[in-house]
């Protein structure tokens, strides 16, 4: 089993006629993901990679029965694309970055009203190794297994998943929650799903400076039956300076790596000081 996606997930690609949409749709197909339709307004009736293109999400869902949409739409148009998807599918994965915060807030409000799960914006997506991937991550670094991974960072997620794979620790699902200041699903949301997943035996949280998402996650780690290992990037970042993601900024004495590490450790999680320590921490828990 896995969470969020599996081999039966039926996916729409919004923006499939663009360079990024087409490129990653092809890679998702190669991995085995069921790409059932593309959506680009004004391009309905065309075909990309053997996939029919529709003008609207509504029409695509009516004809192809999709349950998930992944969005490769430029930031100025991503709000409208996401709002349309939320109306018709259960899950929306927003790869686009640089979306204005106000637009994102409107999207999240609509998603809550509809009961639609949103990952992102600025997410690498989600992959259940060996089953399906809906995102931009390199499938070759992942392997099927029982470690759930949740990350704010795409590149760190790939690096750490590769280290897990090389150590013989496969992954049940990796979920990229996104690095923006306002996102849909949080660490807490995904931890709750992993807790219910019989295929997941351990969880890795990959966090970074900025915001309070990791501290909020620590609030439920202590009550979970699954052991949790964490890593927080940005320990040497200067206060008040954004590092990488829009959400990675320390301000007002909150959001530091130290405060996040302390919260996770107090909740009972083991926290790695460098990414390469994570496989050993997981193996120590198993032994």
Catalytically annotated residues: 245
Yes or no: say if 16 and 39 are a contact pair by the CB < 8 Å rule: yes
Q: Residue 254 carries which DSSP code?
A: B
Yes or no: say if 207 and 187 are a contact pair by the CB < 8 Å rule: yes
Yes or no: say if 248 and 179 are a contact pair by the CB < 8 Å rule: yes
Provide the total of helices (H) and of strands (E) in the chain, helices listed first: 9, 14
Q: Which residues contact 165 (CB under 8 A, 6 or more apart)?
A: 141, 142, 143, 171
Phi-psi map region of 251: left, alpha, beta (phi>0 left; psi -120 to 50 alpha): beta
Yes or no: say if 203 and 171 are a contact pair by the CB < 8 Å rule: no
The Cα–Cα gap between 181 and 170 comes to: 30
């Amino acid at each position: 089993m896995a969470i969020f996606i599996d081999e039966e997930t039926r996916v729409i690609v919004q923006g499939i006629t663009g360079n990024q949409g087409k490129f990653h749709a092809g890679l998702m197909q190669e991995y085995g993901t069921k790409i059932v339709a593309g959506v680009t307004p004004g391009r309905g009736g065309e075909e990309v990679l053997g996939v029919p293109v529709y003008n609207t999400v509504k029409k695509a869902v009516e004809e192809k029965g999709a349950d998930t949409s992944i969005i490769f739409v430029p930031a100025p148009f991503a709000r409208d694309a996401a709002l349309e998807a939320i109306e018709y599918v259960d899950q929306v994965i927003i790869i686009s970055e640089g979306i204005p915060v106000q637009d994102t807030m409107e999207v999240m409000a609509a998603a809550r009203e509809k009961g639609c799960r949103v990952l992102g914006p600025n997410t690498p997506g989600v992959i259940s190794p060996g089953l399906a991937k809906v995102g931009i991550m390199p499938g070759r670094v992942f392997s099927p297994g029982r470690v759930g991974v949740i990350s704010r960072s795409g590149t760190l997620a790939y690096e750490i998943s590769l280290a897990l794979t090389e150590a013989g620790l496969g992954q049940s699902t990796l979920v990229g929650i996104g690095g923006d200041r306002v996102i849909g699903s949080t660490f807490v949301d995904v931890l709750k799903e992993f807790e219910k997943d019989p295929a997941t035996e351990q969880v890795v949280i990959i966090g970074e400076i900025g915001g309070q998402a990791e501290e909020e996650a620590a609030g439920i780690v202590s009550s979970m039956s699954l052991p949790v290992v964490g890593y927080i990037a940005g320990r040497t970042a200067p206060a008040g300076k954004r590092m990488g993601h829009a959400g990675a900024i320390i301000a007002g004495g909150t959001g530091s790596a130290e405060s996040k590490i302390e919260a996770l450790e107090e909740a009972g999680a083991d926290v790695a000081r460098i990414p390469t320590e994570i496989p050993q921490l997981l193996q120590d828990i198993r032994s």
